[in-house]
Structure 1
Amino acid sequence: MTLGENIVRLRTQKNWSQGDLADALDISRQSVSKWETDASIPELDKLLKLSELFGVTLDELVRGEDAPKAETAAPAAQAVPASFTPQTSSEQEKRHTIAGTILMCIGAVLLLTCLILAGDLLAGLIYGLPFFLCGIICFTVKHRTGLWCGWAAYLCIDLYLRFATGLSWTTIFMTHLWTPQMNYMRLAIAWVQFAAMVLMTVWTVLAYRKMKLSATKKELKWLAAGWLAALVALPLLMSYGVMPLLLDDLGNYSNISPYFLLNVVYSYARLALINVLLVRSLAVWRLKREEKKAEK
């Protein structure tokens, strides 16, 4: 039995997912996957932590069930240190189910309240949508549930503000031109939208801070092409390709118009692309930094 097969067997006995084990070891899930397929071998410090996590000796970890049993191995097979113990999948699922149920109930209460008291189904759907979406995420997403709930809430609120006020975070570039007649509250809303977008981007980067990727030629090409598209190609296409075709519609920006809808889709697609590129670029940088340290 190989080391990778032993890790799979011991992890399965603990009812842990690859993500659980990765979180306990402070590494990426991809690293655990490579160990289990024997594509790579854990470093010595990781082997020691694995033996503590699984409650086995190093010999048993490496050689598996064929390793000789020794009485001296008993202390090592006792309680696993609390700092290394991840939550079991069943515990996480239970917490997610409870959170999802609570969120769905809150959304239903808001919907019924608006429907009964005001007779406004649309308002109830608008107010309840963030809670319904977050509830569905809690039921279906196992890892980084809070992050995806945060993005769902952000997009719902930002989309509502765009339709209700006609403002987006790009309005902050007009700050130096703003006058009291233009209503400073509208400018404040734009700044709040911008701050929320930055906060969610930082949260996303931090949530994937353990991710590491090899700097292969294919990966670097995709990253270069992605950054070129996000920072150059898409803005140029929007400014000189789409906008000139919709000049007659620009004065109708605050209504549900083709230009408005295209601009919303463009903004969210570009935001998603930039977040993906940030996460993957930092993952490549982390692995290269570790390789340089190992060479020294």
Structure 2
Amino acid sequence: MTLGANIARLRTQKNWSQGDLADALDISRQSVSKWETDTSIPELDKLLKLAELFGVTLDELVCGENAAKASSAPAAQAASASFPPQQAAPQRKERCTVAGTVLLCTGAVISILCLLLVGDLLAGLLLASPFFICGIICFAVKRRAGLFCGWAVYLCLDLYLRFATGLSWTTIFMTPIWTAQMNYMRLFIAWVQFLVMLVMIICTVCSYRTLKLPAAKKEVSWLVAGWLAAFVLLPLLMRYGIMPLWTKDLHNYSQFSPYYFIGILYDYVRLALVTVLLVRTLAVWRRKREEKKADRNAAVK
């Protein structure tokens, strides 16, 4: 019996779906599917985790149910005591459902209160929009719902500050020439926006810290092209392609000009692109580091 067949057999015995096993291992369902069809092989740390979750020895996981049965009982007791996989995924879904319900109800209450007290439903919907968006995320996203909610809240606040005060984090580049007449509080708010953005990027990178991608030629090519697009092509397109089309708006600049909306979209596209590229670049670096470490160990032996 192959390794993939063993994984499928043990998963079926536990009555887990491929998604449940993927959630327990913090990987994608497609990775589990590839393992079970012997398209790919789990890494050593994932094999150890699989043995722990299934309550079997590594020999039994790799070789079959007849291997090392004498040592499977202690492993099963340790796995059941340390991690209840059958309940982990449902509990996570239940928490997301409860959180989503609470957020949607909170948003509805805020909207109704604004309608009753102020008589402005639109203002209530705008004020409650972060709650509605985060509630929908909790229902729609199965993994890393908290991370996506954090990004949603940040973008909502960033949009509000841009339209209400005209400030964005790019204002920090004016720090050397900022004066008291320009209001230091505005500069402080811009720095807070910038620091919160950095925190969100760091949280995103840490959330995907287990992701490892092979340093294939295609992957490296896409990464190089992405970094060039983020820091060369998009700035050139904005400067020499978009800005000349809106010269009138540049002379009559306001928060509601077409160029202003394009500028906001440009900032968000670059932010998303840089975050994705950073996550994937680090994933390739981690896999490359592990391969070099394995080669060194093999050379020593």
**TM-score, reference length from structure 1:** 0.89
Distance 2:70 2:198 in 1: 56
Q: State how 1:156-195 maps to structure 2 within 5 Å.
A: 156-195=156-195
AA partner of residue 191 (structure 2):
W
- Decide whether the 8 Å contact of 1:163 with 1:254 is kept in 2: no
Letter in 2 for 1:15: W
Matched, 1:15 2:12: no
Percent sequence identity over matched residues? 67
| In structure 2, distance between residues paired with 1:211 and 1:282 | 8
Higher RCO (CA 8 Å, separation ≥ 6 residues): 1
| Map of 1:115 onto structure 2 | 115
Q: Measure, in 2, the Cα distance between the counterparts of 1:240 and 1:92.
A: 48
Contact 1:100 1:138 in 2 (8 A): yes
Give the whole-Å Cα distance in 1 for the aligned partners of 2:45 and 2:184. Answer: 57
Cα deviations across residues 106-160 of structure 1 (Å, max 9, x unaligned)?
Answer: 1111111111100111221111000111001111111111100001111111111
Structure 1 residue ranges, 4+ long, deviating more than 6 angstroms after superposition: 27-30
Alignment CA distance shift 1:244-1:54 (3 Å): same
Aligned to 2:77: 78
Cα gap change, 1:185 to 1:253, in 2 (>3 Å):
farther
Would the aligned equivalents of 1:166 and 1:253 in 2 still touch at CA under 8 Å?
Answer: no
Q: TM-score, normalised by structure 2?
A: 0.88
The residue type equivalent to 1:19 in the other structure is A
* Residues in 1 aligned to 2:124 and 2:94: alpha-carbon distance in whole angstroms: 28
CA contact (8 A) 1:205 1:279 kept: yes
CA deviation after TM superposition for structure 1 residue 105, in Å: 1.2
Q: Please, what is the CA RMSD of the aligned residues?
A: 2.4
Instruction: Spell out the pairing of 1:252-263 with structure 2 (5 A cutoff).
Output: 252-263=252-263
The offset of 1:5, in angstroms, is: 2.3
- The CA deviation string for residues 53-100 of structure 1, in whole angstroms up to 9 with x for no partner, is 2123445423445x2795664333334165555552211111111111
> What one-letter code is carried by the residue in structure 2 that aligns with 1:78?
Q
Q: Distance in 2 between matches of 1:10 and 1:213?
A: 27
Structure 1 residues 244 and 45 mapped into 2: Cα distance closer, same or farther (>3 Å)? closer
Give the C-alpha shift of residue 104 in structure 1: 0.8
- Structure 1 partner of 2:299: none
Q: Is the Cα contact below 8 Å between 1:114 and 1:120 reproduced in 2?
A: yes
The verdict on how the C-alpha distance between 1:93 and 1:240 changes in structure 2, with shifts beyond 3 A counting, is same
* Aligned-partner residue type, residue 278 of structure 1: L
CA contact (8 A) 1:28 1:210 kept: no
Task: Give the gaps of 5 or more residues in structure 1.
Answer: none
Paired with 1:187 and 1:69, the residues of 2 have a C-alpha distance of 66
SS across alignment from 1:78: helix
Q: How far did residue 175 of structure 1 move?
A: 1.4
